[in-house]
Chain A
C-alpha cells in the first residue's frame, strides 16, 4: 500500500474523487497541504484573491456542471471569509466541499493564533461537517463528505483539518474507499407509487392546472422528464428564479418566472389554478408572498421533493411525494401512459384562453427611453440576441439580477447561475470564473450591478492569472438600485445611503489596470454594435459598463401581504 502524509492523502483523495479544480487561498494551517499540492499535477488549484470568491467560484462550477465545487482555505480569517459563500450554497442546495485548515490538535481551544471554531461557526449553514482527528481518517472523511454533499438534497460540507493531521513526516497507508455506508444517512431512491398514482389522478382531473418547479428539478437532473410530462399534459408551467432553464423559456407553455418579480400571467395562473403540481420547489416567501393563507386559494397541491422537511413547511401539501424528482417524474409519465383517464381538453382550452388574455398585458414590455438613454432591460435583451440565448449567465443581486432573469430566455438548465436563497451581492463574478473554468470555450457572462461588482472586484486579478475571458455586463445605474426602488415605493423617495454616483470608480480604467479590456456603452443607438464588439473579443476579459436609466424600477412586483394576484405593474398601475 502507498505511504502518504495526511496532506498528500487529502489531495490524492480529491483526485480519486474526480476533482478537477480546487479553489483556494493559502495560510499557515494549510501549508502542509499546499506543499503536497505543489508536488502533484492532478488537481488544479486556482488561487483566488479572497476566500469568499473561492466559495462562489466553486459554487458556480457546481451549478454549471452538477459536480461538487471544492474549496481550500486556511484557519481563522480564511475560514470565516468563506462563510458567506458556504451560506449561499446552503440556501440554494449546491454540492460543495470546503476544506478548512485548523490549528494543531493540541492547541485547539487555547485561542491560538488564527484559531476559529469552524465546525461551530459553520454549523447552521452546512449539510454536515467533519473534524479530522488524525491523518488516517482523511480518505474516509473525504469520501463521506463528497457522498453527503452530492446526494439527496445537496449542500455544502465542511472538513476541518488540524495542521498536525497533514504533517509531511507522518505517513499513513493510503487507500481510497470504493463506497461508503452511513447508517444514519439514507437517501430515498424512489417515490411512493401509491402517492404518485394519486397525484396523476388529481392532475388529470384538473380544470385549471399549473406546474411550478424550482431548483430541485435542475439539481435532481429531472429537466427532460419535466419537459416531457409538461408537453404530454399540455399544461402551463412556471419556473422559480432558481429553476429557470429547467423548461425551455421559448416554449409556448412557459409562462415565465413566478413570484415577487414574476410575470403577470404566471402569478395570475398560480392564484387561480385548481391543481398545482410543485416539483423541487420550496414555497419560499419570494414565491408565495408573505401571507401563505392567501396562496393559491382554490388549489389541490401536489408536492414532489427529495427533502421531506421541505414538504408542508410553509404551505401544506395535499399529496406529498418524497423522492428524487427524476425517478418520480418518470413514474408519473409511466402512470400517465397507463391511465385510462385523460386530460379535460375542454376545460384546458378555456384555461389557456384565460392565460392568453393575461399574457396580453405584456407585463415585461419596455418603452424605449427618450434622449438615447439605455433601459437596463434593453441591455439584457441585446445580450440575449447577440449570444443567441446560449450563454452561461451568472448574476448578482439587485435590479440587474431581476432584469436578467426576466429578459434572458433560458432554454437549457445550468445556464442561469444566481444566488436565489441568500441573495448574495458579490456572487456573480467569481461564479462566472467557476463556469469559465468548467467550460473554457463557452461564453461565460456575468450580468451585474456596479454595487455588487465592487464586492468582489479583486477577482480581476485571478482572471488575468488564469486567462479567463469572462464578459461582465454591468448595468450601471450609479446606485444600489433595488434598495433605491424600495425607498421610492415605501419610504417616500428618501434615498438613504443607496446612491454614490460621485464616488464611483472609472470601471474602464479599473479593468485596464488589471490588464483587461473595458468598454463603455452610453447611448441606446450604440448598444448593439458595442456589445457585439465586446463579445467578439473571445480571448479577453471585457468589462462592459452599460450606463442605464437610473430611474427604472423592476416590475411586476408583488404587493406585500397580498396574494400572488396582487402586483404593482408599473409606476402608475397595479392589479
Chain B
C-alpha cells in the first residue's frame, strides 16, 4: 500500500542525506520526496511517499524515528488527510489545439502561467491522481516537459505535526 510519511527534521547539514540514505540502504523505495523549511527556523519538513506491506512500513517509520535528526513523524495515510502536489507542465499548443487545451486547463482548475506562439506553460495543483489524469487528458503527444514537486500533505482536523 502507498503511504505518505511526514517528518520534522532538524535543519542540520547532512540530515537529508541520512533520510535518503536510510531508504536506499534498507532497500525501501521512495516514490516522491519533498523537503522545505518550516515556520520554525530549526526544522525542515520532509514528506516521503513510499509503499510496502504493514510490516515494511512499520520498519520504515521505526528506522526513521531512530535517526537522531528526526524529531517527529506521522504516517498521514493512517488518518484523514489532505494531499497536494504542484505540477508545472509545458505543452505544445498551436492553432486549434490552443482553445482545446485552455478548456482542459479550466476543467482541471489549472492556470496557464506562461505562453509563446506554440507552447503553453500550465500550473496545476491537486492530489497525484488528478495530475496524472490531466496529463492523460491532454495526451502524451503534446507534453514537452513536466516538473512535479512530489507530494506534500497534512492531517485533516485539529491534528498537527508540531513540537
Which residues on B sit within 8 Å (CB–CB) of A129? 14
Query: Is residue B17 contacting chain A, with contact meaning CB distance below 8 A?
Result: yes
- Once the chains are docked, how many angstroms separate the CA of A333 from the CA of B18? 40
Query: Is residue B58 contacting chain A, with contact meaning CB distance below 8 A?
Result: yes
Query: Is residue A307 contacting chain B, with contact meaning CB distance below 8 A?
Result: yes
Contact of A308 among B18, B62, B72 (CB under 8 A): B62
Query: Is residue B117 contacting chain A, with contact meaning CB distance below 8 A?
Result: no
* Contact stretch, chosen from A182-190, A448-456, A496-504: A182-190
Which residues on B sit within 8 Å (CB–CB) of A185? 68
- Once the chains are docked, how many angstroms separate the CA of A183 from the CA of B71? 7
Query: Is residue B70 contacting chain A, with contact meaning CB distance below 8 A?
Result: yes
| Secondary structure type dominating chain B contacts | helix
Q: Given the known inter-chain contacts A183-B71, A183-B163, A313-B59, please indicate yes or no for A119 contacting B14, CB distance below 8 A.
A: yes
Residue pair A184, B71 in contact (C-beta under 8 Å): yes
- For A160, give the chain B residue with the smallest CB separation: B14
Residue pair A309, B62 in contact (C-beta under 8 Å): yes
Query: Is residue A140 contacting chain B, with contact meaning CB distance below 8 A?
Result: no
Using a Cβ cutoff of 8 Å, how many contacts connect chains A and B?
A: 37
* Contact stretch, chosen from A5-13, A27-35, A71-79, A120-128: A120-128
Which residues on A sit within 8 Å (CB–CB) of B70? 184
A295 CB to closest chain B CB (Å) equals 15
Residue pair B14, A131 in contact (C-beta under 8 Å): yes
Chain A positions 461 through 477: 1 when the CB is less than 8 Å from some CB of chain B, otherwise 0: 00000000000000000
- Once the chains are docked, how many angstroms separate the CA of A120 from the CA of B68? 16
Which residues on A sit within 8 Å (CB–CB) of B14? 119, 123, 129, 131
Residue pair A309, B59 in contact (C-beta under 8 Å): yes
Query: Is residue A312 contacting chain B, with contact meaning CB distance below 8 A?
Result: yes
Residue pair B68, A123 in contact (C-beta under 8 Å): no
Which residues on B sit within 8 Å (CB–CB) of A120? 17
B11 CB to closest chain A CB (Å) equals 11
Residue pair B69, A184 in contact (C-beta under 8 Å): yes
Chain B positions 12 through 40: 1 when the CB is less than 8 Å from some CB of chain A, otherwise 0: 01100110010001000000000000000
- Once the chains are docked, how many angstroms separate the CA of A123 from the CA of B15? 11
Q: Given the known inter-chain contacts A309-B62, A313-B59, please indicate yes or no for A124 contacting B68, CB distance below 8 A.
A: no
- Once the chains are docked, how many angstroms separate the CA of A119 from the CA of B16? 13
Query: Is residue A148 contacting chain B, with contact meaning CB distance below 8 A?
Result: yes
B14 CB to closest chain A CB (Å) equals 6
Q: Given the known inter-chain contacts A183-B71, A312-B55, please indicate yes or no for A307 contacting B66, CB distance below 8 A.
A: yes
Query: Is residue A316 contacting chain B, with contact meaning CB distance below 8 A?
Result: yes
Residue pair B63, A309 in contact (C-beta under 8 Å): yes
Contact of A316 among B10, B55, B68, B163 (CB under 8 A): B55
Which residues on A sit within 8 Å (CB–CB) of B62? 308-309
Residue pair A312, B58 in contact (C-beta under 8 Å): yes
A144 CB to closest chain B CB (Å) equals 9
Contact of B10 among A124, A184, A309 (CB under 8 A): A184
Residue pair B21, A123 in contact (C-beta under 8 Å): yes
Q: How many residues of A contact B (CB 8 A)?
A: 19
Q: How many residues of B contact A (CB 8 A)?
A: 20
Which residues on B sit within 8 Å (CB–CB) of A128? 68
Residue pair A123, B55 in contact (C-beta under 8 Å): no
Contact of B18 among A123, A313, A316 (CB under 8 A): A123
Q: Given the known inter-chain contacts A129-B14, A131-B14, A183-B163, please indicate yes or no for A309 contacting B66, CB distance below 8 A.
A: yes
- Once the chains are docked, how many angstroms separate the CA of A119 from the CA of B58? 27
B116 CB to closest chain A CB (Å) equals 39
Point out which of B21, B55, B68, B71 has the most chain A C-beta atoms below 10 A from its C-beta.
Answer: B68
Which residues on A sit within 8 Å (CB–CB) of B118? none
Query: Is residue B65 contacting chain A, with contact meaning CB distance below 8 A?
Result: yes
A106 CB to closest chain B CB (Å) equals 16
- Once the chains are docked, how many angstroms separate the CA of A123 from the CA of B13? 13
- Once the chains are docked, how many angstroms separate the CA of A459 from the CA of B59? 41
A285 CB to closest chain B CB (Å) equals 15
Residue pair A182, B21 in contact (C-beta under 8 Å): no
A52 CB to closest chain B CB (Å) equals 22
Which residues on B sit within 8 Å (CB–CB) of A316? 55
- Once the chains are docked, how many angstroms separate the CA of A308 from the CA of B18? 19
A301 CB to closest chain B CB (Å) equals 14
- Once the chains are docked, how many angstroms separate the CA of A90 from the CA of B71? 22
- Once the chains are docked, how many angstroms separate the CA of A185 from the CA of B55? 24
Chain B positions 87 through 108: 1 when the CB is less than 8 Å from some CB of chain A, otherwise 0: 0000000000000000000000
Residue pair A124, B71 in contact (C-beta under 8 Å): no
Chain B positions 46 through 79: 1 when the CB is less than 8 Å from some CB of chain A, otherwise 0: 0000000001001100110110111110000000
B20 CB to closest chain A CB (Å) equals 10
Residue pair A127, B63 in contact (C-beta under 8 Å): no
Chain A positions 298 through 323: 1 when the CB is less than 8 Å from some CB of chain B, otherwise 0: 00000000011100110010000000
Which residues on A sit within 8 Å (CB–CB) of B55? 312, 316
A282 CB to closest chain B CB (Å) equals 13
- For A316, give the chain B residue with the smallest CB separation: B55
Residue pair A124, B66 in contact (C-beta under 8 Å): no
Chain A positions 41 through 56: 1 when the CB is less than 8 Å from some CB of chain B, otherwise 0: 0000000000000000
- Once the chains are docked, how many angstroms separate the CA of A119 from the CA of B69? 14
Residue pair A182, B68 in contact (C-beta under 8 Å): yes
Which residues on B sit within 8 Å (CB–CB) of A124? 21, 25
- Once the chains are docked, how many angstroms separate the CA of A307 from the CA of B18? 18
Contact of B65 among A148, A308, A313 (CB under 8 A): A308
- Once the chains are docked, how many angstroms separate the CA of A186 from the CA of B14? 20
Point out which of B10, B55, B66, B69 has the most chain A C-beta atoms below 10 A from its C-beta.
Answer: B66
- For A310, give the chain B residue with the smallest CB separation: B62
With A124-B25, A309-B59 given, can you name 17 additional A-B contacts, CB distance below 8 Å?
A: A120-B17, A123-B14, A123-B21, A124-B21, A127-B68, A131-B13, A131-B14, A182-B68, A183-B163, A184-B69, A184-B71, A185-B68, A308-B62, A308-B65, A309-B62, A309-B65, A312-B55
Closest A-B pairs by Cβ, 4 of them: A309-B62, A184-B71, A128-B68, A124-B25
Can you show 20 pairs from A to B with CB atoms below 8 A apart? A119-B14, A123-B14, A123-B18, A127-B68, A128-B68, A129-B14, A131-B13, A148-B68, A183-B163, A184-B68, A184-B69, A184-B70, A307-B66, A308-B65, A309-B59, A309-B63, A309-B65, A309-B66, A312-B58, A313-B59
